[in-house]
């Protein structure tokens, strides 16, 4: 199934480009990179300079760029959970 703005919370987000729009640590706001790993509560984002940062999902608001070029803004609390459990929610 194709990833869209409507079903992104049920899909794999590793590999997608992301930008941090809101976060308690103001130094992280505006940083962009690619999601390289995901856990129950965190995202590991590799920035363009090669640096990796781990951010808590529940604390942020993220903008994801889908393979189609569409951008989607998501509250981190909407994607909390293990990636494989979220993938099970894909409607067939």
CA-CA distances (angstroms) from residue 6 to 2, 30, 48, 72?
10, 24, 28, 9
Superfamily designation of domain 8-87: Ribonuclease P/MRP, subunit p29 (2.30.30.210)
CA–CA separation, 44 and 55 (whole Å): 7
Please tell me the predicted confidence (pLDDT) of residue 89: 56
**Dihedrals φ, ψ of 31, to 5°?**
-70, 140
CA–CA separation, 23 and 45 (whole Å): 14
Q: pLDDT per residue over 55-89, tens digit each?
A: 999 999 999 999 889 999 999 998 888 776 766 65
Please tell me the predicted confidence (pLDDT) of residue 81: 81
Please tell me the predicted confidence (pLDDT) of residue 34: 98
Where are the domains positioned within the chain? 8-87
**Dihedrals φ, ψ of 26, to 5°?**
-60, -20
Label residue 17 by pLDDT band (50, 70, 90).
very high
């Amino acid at each position: 199934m194709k990833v869209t703005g409507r079903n992104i919370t049920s899909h794999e987000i590793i590999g997608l480009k992301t930008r941090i729009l809101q976060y308690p640590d103001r130094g992280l706001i505006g940083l962009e990179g690619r999601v390289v790993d995901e856990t129950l509560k965190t995202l590991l984002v590799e920035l363009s300079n090669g640096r990796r940062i781990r951010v808590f999902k529940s604390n942020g608001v993220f903008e994801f760029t889908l393979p189609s070029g569409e951008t989607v803004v998501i509250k981190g609390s909407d994607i909390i959970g293990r990636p494989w459990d979220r993938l099970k929610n894909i409607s067939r």
